[in-house]
Structure 1
């Protein structure tokens, strides 16, 4: 199957001179599958709802302020005859849920994550949630404010947060869409009200005033096909993964991006490394990253590596023109998941810090499993006495 079978022309086009306030309203009112930005009629970029939330750019600014090359690399382009696997890789590595589809130099349409997942749904029954979900969820307290939510979403580059009460029990979930809804409604009231200063209070709105509850959940033993079918049916970007014996205890999160990433898994001889926000690479290449990871992970031959995901995220802070970068490395192995993260000025520096932490965590996991094996052997010997 190639992308022309599932691409669509259902998108909204805006000029770079359009006010960001209007674009934010378009997401709220029309819920478009994608917003294409053009300059003089030519494709410039794709704007997602998450980018709007993470941006500090004011409503009165023009779209151009958000899509400047110095701030955002343009969304990757997809050829209309590209296959599904490669297109999934393009979306994941670009950190986007929608990409423009081109025929030659002409914009032909857009392709969305939902369209890809719908097309491959019947082939996902062989996977379980346990094989692809993220097992270290970032959560928020039900008494925290909107400002805390925005900071967590921005800091971790994620789209949803499980909401927990004081006892750690799951009470709701808050997403980028929920935040956009609150911001659009709140800013509108603040602008038209008697006190424009009230907009500052929006960030203090408690989470339980705008979170979604009850929460749509899944468990690690459910098939990915069933989980994705529920996401598509209910227009959800992800599901909270809960303990099979206690649906109030959060163990992870499964998102559409996790599923797209699984579609890119290959049987190649070399290690399969997925990189999100690959445009941030500066003095380091994909091959450099793969080689460095191979050197670290090959030290532990008993651990079969199935997939590696490296995510980069740029912060505003800079040192002599080089941006502060956050890097997270997540490795999926036959012994479970292990990760390492770190920050540095430039992608290479951040990657080296994250790689060092990853190696420490891999060694810790290896030693823990060795201790488990020793305790098991000792217990068996004692039982034989």
Structure 2
């Protein structure tokens, strides 16, 4: 299947000189995945709602200061699996589609998932969901939620009550929508929505509840259908016997990532925000992770994912980078994360943590096998 069958010529467009305040309102009214930014009629980049939320830039600034021009450019004849990888590795939900060097339209994460929906019944949620989840408590302030979303480069946070049970969900869209309404009140002379007070608001007052959940044994097709039905970008994964316990989270990006899995002899390593790589290459990352995985011979790695996120802090011009590595194996998910100045340093720290976690799992497995052998011998007495 080619993108020509999925992409669309219909999209929202703003000029690079437009003010961010106007664009915030546009996101609030139209709820697009992204807006195309042009300069003098020529394609200049893409602006997403998450970028607006994560920035500290004032509303009177121009759009061009935030527009991403490093988002992968898609050709109309590109294969859908290739484009799925490009979206995941580009850390975006929308990409420009070009034909003969000219902007033709856009392709979105949703459009791809709708096109392949009927093929997703071969996967279960348990095979692709993320089991490490960052949560908020009901009395945590909105400022903390924004920091968590920004620092971890994610779009949603489950909220738990004092007993640790799932009670709600806060997303970037919820916060952006609330921010727009707050600014509109300020402009009308009502100062009750002052920005500082907004950041002190408990997430309980903003969260969505009840939360839509899914169990690990459900098909991915069912999960995606539910996301589309409720206009959600992710679902909380819960145990079959307890729909208030947070076992993990499944997002549309997780599903998109699964479309890129390969059956090649070499390990498939997917890298999100690949443009942040500096002194390290995809091949070096693939080799390093393969070496770690090989230390546990009983573990079969189905897929490896490496995510890089850039912080504003810099050291002699080099940005502080957060790196998360995750292996999906026949022994479950194993992850490791770390930070450092530059992608290579951050990756090495994360890799070291991943290796320790792999070896720990190996020791647990060995201990379990020893205990099993001991029990069998005792039963023979």
Is the Cα contact below 8 Å between 2:183 and 2:193 reproduced in 1? no
Using the alignment, how far apart are the partners of 2:26 and 2:18 within structure 1?
A: 11
Structure 1 counterpart SS, 2:334: strand
Q: Distance in 2 between matches of 1:304 and 1:225?
A: 25
Which ranges of structure 2 fall in alignment gaps of 5 or more residues? none
| 1:196 Cα deviation after fit | 8.3
Change (3 A) 1:204 1:159: same
Residue of 126, 129, 132 corresponding to 2:125: 129
Give the drift of 1:33: 4.0
Structure 1 partner of 2:271 = 275
For residues 350 and 197 of structure 2, what CA distance do their matches in structure 1 show?
37
- Residue of structure 2 equivalent to 1:3: 3
2:210 to 211, 214, 231: 214
Distance 1:369 1:222 in 2: 28
CA distance in 2, matches of 1:23, 1:197: 20
Query: What residue is the counterpart of 2:62 in the other structure?
Result: 62
Q: Which of the numbers 142, 145, 149 marks the counterpart of 1:149?
A: 145
Separation in 2 of the partners of 1:224 and 1:125?
A: 6
Q: TM-score, normalised by structure 1?
A: 0.97
CA contact (8 A) 1:10 1:33 kept: no
Give distance in 1, aligned partners of 2:274 and 2:120: 27
1:336 to 332, 336, 352: 332
CA-CA distance at 1:379 after TM superposition: 2.5
Kept in 1, the 8 Å contact 2:170–2:206? The answer is: yes
Contact 1:164 1:171 in 2 (8 A): yes
Asked if 1:101 corresponds to 2:97, the answer is yes
Aligned-partner SS, 2:121: coil
Query: Relative to 1, partners in 2 of residues 1:253 and 1:234: Cα closer, same or farther, differing over 3 Å?
Result: same
Q: Does residue 1:76 correspond to 2:72, yes or no? A: yes
Q: Which residue of 2 aligns with 1:15?
A: 15
Query: Normalising by the residue count of structure 2, what TM-score does the alignment of the two structures yield?
Result: 0.97
The counterpart of 1:305, out of the listed 297, 301, 308, is 301
Of 261, 268, 273, which aligns to 1:265? Answer: 261
Which residue of 1 is the match for residue 35 of structure 2?
35
From 367, 377, 383, give the equivalent of 2:379: 383
* Distance in 1, Cα, partners of 2:126 & 2:193: 47
For 1:225 and 1:106, the matched residues in 2 are separated by 35
Q: Out of 130, 136, 140, which is 2:136 matched to?
A: 140
Q: Encode CA deviations 1:179-229: one digit per residue, 9 max, x unaligned.
A: 111111112212332548822111111111111111110011111011011
Looking at structure 1, the residues matched to 162 and 329 of structure 2 have their Cα atoms a distance apart, in angstroms, of 33
How much has 1:272 moved relative to structure 2? 0.1
Match among 163, 166, 189 for residue 167 of structure 1: 163
Distance 1:53 1:349 in 2: 28
| Number of equivalent positions | 381
How far 1:57 sits from its partner (Å)? 1.1
Specify the SS of the correspondent of 1:124: helix
Aligned with 2:17: secondary structure? coil
Is the 8 Å Cα contact of residues 325 and 336 (structure 2) preserved in structure 1? yes
Task: Give the root-mean-square deviation of aligned CA atoms.
Answer: 1.3
Supply the distance in 2 between the matched residues of 1:384 and 1:133 (Cα, whole angstroms): 42
Task: Decide whether the 8 Å contact of 2:33 with 2:48 is kept in 1.
Answer: no
